Amino acid sequence: MKRFWIALALLAALLCGTLLHTYSLGGFTRRLTHSLEGAQDLARADRWEEAHTLTEEALQTWSDRDVYLHVLLRHADTDQIYAGFQEVLALLESREYGEYAAANARLVTQIGLLSEAEQLTLKNVL
């Protein structure tokens, strides 16, 4: 009977860790998305330098969690998002709004999908 309770406690700890990770990642990706959308609004208003600075801050926020992200998420996903940041920053420097807006929308979508993939839903479990 003791083994049963130990196994149950371990399963409960894993569930709590999973829920904490999902909650933390959700808040993190929402902040990144908000920053990138704000940068796009700035670029639309021809405030390119401010948009570039806000995007660099978002990339720094991403980079600050690099170890956490690489340990708990697929490397291909995190690498693709990092490459997306680099593309968006390069397009901000060129000040070509159409291409920048498309690349920024892709990046925002990738970040959103990253969070969605970690949600504890029936679709993700099966």
Q: Over the chain, what is the mean pLDDT?
A: 91
For 26-30, 45-49, 91-95, 119-123, which range has the lowest pLDDT when averaged over its residues? Answer: 119-123
Distance CA 29, CA 14 (A): 22
pLDDT digits (tens, 9 = 90+) for 21-58: 889 999 999 999 999 999 999 999 999 999 999 999 99
Q: Kindly list the structural domains of the chain, giving each domain's residue range(s) and its CATH number in brackets, ordered by start.
A: 23-125 (1.20.120)
| Average of per-residue pLDDT across 2-27 | 90
This prediction has a pTM of 0.85
The answer for residues whose C-beta is within 8 angstroms of residue 42's C-beta and 6 or more apart is 48, 50, 51, 54
